[in-house]
Amino acid sequence: MKELDKKEIRSHLLYLRNSLSIEQRWEFSHNIQNQVLNLSILKTTELIHCYCGYNSEVSTFQLVKQLMLSGRQMAVPIVKSKSKILLHSSINNSTIFIKGLFNTPIPFNPNFIPIEQLNHHNVLVLIPLVGFDKHCNRIGYGGGYYDRFLQQIPLSQKIGIAFACQEIDVIPSNETDIPLDFVVTEQKIFSKLQ
**Lowest mean pLDDT, pick from 7-11, 53-57, 99-103, 137-141:** 99-103
Of the pLDDT bands very low, low, confident and very high (cuts 50, 70, 90), residue 176 is: confident
SS (H, E, C) 148-159: HHHHHCCCCEEE
pLDDT of residue 166: 97
Cα separation of 176 and 185, whole Å? 25
- For residue 9, give every residue at least 6 positions away whose Cβ sits within 8 Å of its Cβ, in sequence order, or none: 130, 131, 139, 168, 171
Predicted confidence band of residue 139 (pLDDT cuts 50, 70, 90) = very high
Average pLDDT of 36-41?
Answer: 93
Q: What is the pLDDT of residues 82-121, one digit of tens each?
A: 677 899 999 999 999 998 887 888 999 999 999 999 999 9
- Grade residue 194 by pLDDT with cuts at 50, 70 and 90: low
Q: What is the pLDDT of residue 102?
A: 76
- Using the predicted structure, report yes or no on whether residue 29 has a pLDDT greater than 80: yes
Please provide the distance, in angstroms rounded to a whole number, between the alpha carbons at the two ends of the chain: 24
**Mean pLDDT, rounded, of the chain:** 91
What's residue 1's pLDDT? 45
Whether CATH 3.40.50.10420 fits 3-191 = yes
| Over residues 24-43, mean pLDDT | 95
What are the sequence ranges of the domains in the chain? 3-191
Taking phi first (over 0 means left), then psi (-120 to 50 degrees means alpha), and beta for anything else, what does residue 19 get?
Answer: alpha
- Cα separation, 157 vs 192, whole angstroms: 12
Where residue 31 falls among pLDDT bands split at 50, 70, 90?
very high
